[in-house]
Amino acid sequence: MRMFTAKALSGTILVVVMAVVLVLFAHAGSEGKVLTVKGNVVAVNLKVDPQIIVVKAMTQHKQELIVGATIGKGATITRGNKPVKLADVKVGEAVDLTYLKHADGLVARSIHVR
């Protein structure tokens, strides 16, 4: 039976912890940037997989911004404090859309109907 010294054991633990931290940083970096827009729903497409929402917002400089995002797994959709389905969100309604921007496109994380 092989005995580990405290020094060898602590070195092994350090290597494992560093590996875990590097993996977490690599994953966080690949996720992209989380952004939020406040605007009105222009379109909802329930017939594709993943489903899509399109929101028209105004930037700080009064320029129109159109954001189209797929509905990500685990995305939350609410009206007030109650969860709703994307089918319940209608064109013209005011929403707050939080989405993740990464290399593959925009993915909705949350939609709150105001």
Helices (H) and strands (E) in the chain, counts: 1, 6
Sequence-ordered list of residues with C-beta below 8 angstroms from that of 16, at least 6 positions apart, any chain: none
CA angle 30/36/37 to nearest 5° reads 135
- The CATH number of 33-113 is which of 2.40.50.320, 2.30.38.10, 3.30.70.270, 3.40.50.10090? 2.40.50.320
Residue type, 63: Q
Confidence band of 63 (pLDDT split at 50, 70, 90): very high
77 neighbors 111 (Cβ within 8 angstroms): yes
Average pLDDT on 67-87 reads 94
CB distance 80 to 112 below 8 Å: no
Over range 94-114, report the average pLDDT: 93
Q: Which helix (H) or strand (E) holds 65?
A: strand 64-79
The percent of residues in the chain predicted with pLDDT above 90, rounded, is: 62
Q: Where are the domains of the chain?
A: 1-31, 33-113
Tell me if the pTM is above 0.95: no
The model's pLDDT over 4-28, given as tens digits with 9 standing for 90+, comes to 555 554 444 433 333 333 344 444 4
